[in-house]
Chains A and B, each alone.
Chain A
Amino acid sequence: MACTVPYLGHGVGLRTQHFPRVWEGTARVDWFEAVSENFMIRGGRPLAVLEKAREIAPLVLHGVSLSLGSTDPLNDAYLHDLQTLIHRFEPAWVSDHLCWGSVGGHYAHDLLPLPYTEEALTHVVERVRAVQDRLGRQILLENVSSYLTFSHSTMPEWTFLAEVAERADCGILLDVNNVYVSATNHGFNPAEYLTALPAERIGQIHLAGHSDQGTHLLDTHAGPVSAPVWDLYRLALHRYGRVSTLIEWDERIPEFDELCAEAERARAIECEICGGFYAESP
């Protein structure tokens, strides 16, 4: 089996700052990714804007609070809300993160690292399967940036991610910036990470900016994609072929056109690596 999501081209994350452009119908892009939790509401402007975005371009839902690695039971109300969003907006696919963010009923609202052990692997696989059964669809799992690793891990992150994808039959959302940030913070070779992942399971790529804190890299999404991350993106395209790619930008968010220029840069690189006619989206 493989990841069966369609190829959508080069998209951007839907952010509040760009709601006016979406509302007036001038936000032209291949596709949008919306953070699921921001739209688990009952009415008002955000949902109306999301309807509009959906009319403009294909949409993908990207969650941050599914907490797949948590040892708490899956949050039934959350899954219900997610299912409601899926029915209403018919996203091309749904994704969340390979991490945990809650325990004892409390949420950290962060993407916390897992130990890469057999115990965690079995647990995550079971949870991903349960979510896929509940939603009736394959989901994509994203690798997170991390600032610590656990000494009792028995395998590297890339092996863990590949194993989860195979055993749970889910797709992979490869965040190339996160690979670079974690590789720098933990001293591994990012190319090794990319090489180890099964190409047929990569359904989406994330690109974003990070910041150098001197002692470590921080995944801030506060600026343009850095040169080494573009290089790693090239490597990813060599290895996997063309993959739907999305620019994330969450702090110091630029004008919509500047954001789209980053997506166009990704498109140009894809054409350079994978061939094909390069034409900016209308």
Chain B
Amino acid sequence: MLNLRELQSRFFRAIARVPGGGEREGFDSTLLQLVQGRGRLGPAQRLDLYAHMYCARLLDALHEDFPRVAAILGFERFREIARAYLARNPSAHPSLQYLGRHFPEFLNTAVEDIELLPFLADLARLEWTRLEVFDAPDAEPLQMEHLQAIPLDEWPGLRFRLIPACQVLRSAWPVHELWTAGEEAALSALMRPTATVVRVWRQGFTVYQASLDAIEQVALDGVQTGEPFAAICAALAPLLPQQEEAALAVGSLLTRWIEDGILARLQPN
């Protein structure tokens, strides 16, 4: 007789062994002897129902989290890769929302012929980032009137902070274009490597994304690393040799960030 611990271990192994792998002739015989098979279903068929539900639920969850990747790969190919992922990364969290957290990395390292679509792992990263941003902590955004209230002599030392629901993603591919293209998988053939930096943020309840030009990349880098405002301006100077241009660029960047709500309200010193 199996004790409860052994029964549960064997049961879990049986239903998760080869997720969705078709025939399950090789069910654990000790376990099968404990399953009652009265009525129209035998013990193996009954256990197989649980194996099927395990697989279907988890594959559906991954499909929901990575719809663009799934659309490009096609239903069957996505499911095949997702099954391999589940075999190596069974859920280790009570909430299904964390199931796909290693999926982008898995696409990058563990899928043999993924080099045919080398941008796929980065597209998955973008999809995952959007999910993280969707339910990241709320924060009060910085408003224009807050900025206007800051005395001029404090500006050089100002340190801006991004809200928690803003992330910056770097890729060798214009993944944001692929994301926008939706299910036009044919576009993937047109993809050429282009160093791309995308910021993903939430404003209200909506998640947005935008690619960054060189100036915004440098400035946002400075914000993320906690540089004071004067240092950020200094870092931008080589990109904008004319002083008037630099002031204008910094001003318009701050305006855009405030309009997008990605800066957190400054904490009093």
Which A residues are closer than 8 A to B by beta carbons? Answer: 37-38, 40-48, 65-67, 70-71, 75, 78, 100, 102-110, 112, 114-115, 117, 119-120, 123, 147-152, 185-187, 215-216
Contact = CB atoms under 8 A, between A and B. Distances in A.
B18 to A, nearest CB: 15
A43 B95 contact: no
A42 B50 contact: no
Contacts of A107: 90-94
Contacts of B136: 42-44
Given A44-B136, A109-B91, A149-B36, 5 more contacts: A40-B94, A120-B4, A147-B50, A186-B38, A216-B49
A20 to B, nearest CB: 11
Interface size class of B (residues with CB under 8 A): 35 or more
Given A40-B95, A44-B202, A110 B57 contact: yes
Contacts of A147: 41, 46, 49-50
21 contacts: A38-B95, A41-B135, A42-B136, A42-B164, A43-B137, A43-B165, A44-B202, A78-B94, A102-B94, A106-B91, A109-B57, A110-B50, A148-B43, A148-B50, A150-B35, A151-B35, A151-B36, A186-B38, A186-B39, A187-B38, A216-B40
Contacts of A120: 4
A39 B166 CA distance: 20
Interface of B: 1, 3-5, 7-9, 11-12, 15-16, 33-36, 38-41, 43, 45-47, 49-50, 53-54, 57-58, 61, 90-97, 134-139, 164-165, 202, 205
Closest 9 CB pairs of A and B: A65-B94, A45-B205, A148-B46, A43-B138, A41-B135, A44-B135, A71-B5, A43-B137, A42-B137
Nearest to A219: B53
Nearest to A70: B8
A114 B33 CA distance: 15
Contacts of B205: 44-45, 48
Most chain B beta carbons < 10 A, residue from A38, A105, A147: A147
Contacts of B45: 215
A109 B54 CA distance: 7
Contacts of A102: 94
A47 B47 CA distance: 37
B50 to A, nearest CB: 7
A103 B39 contact: no
Contacts of A100: 8
Contacts of B8: 70-71, 100, 103, 112
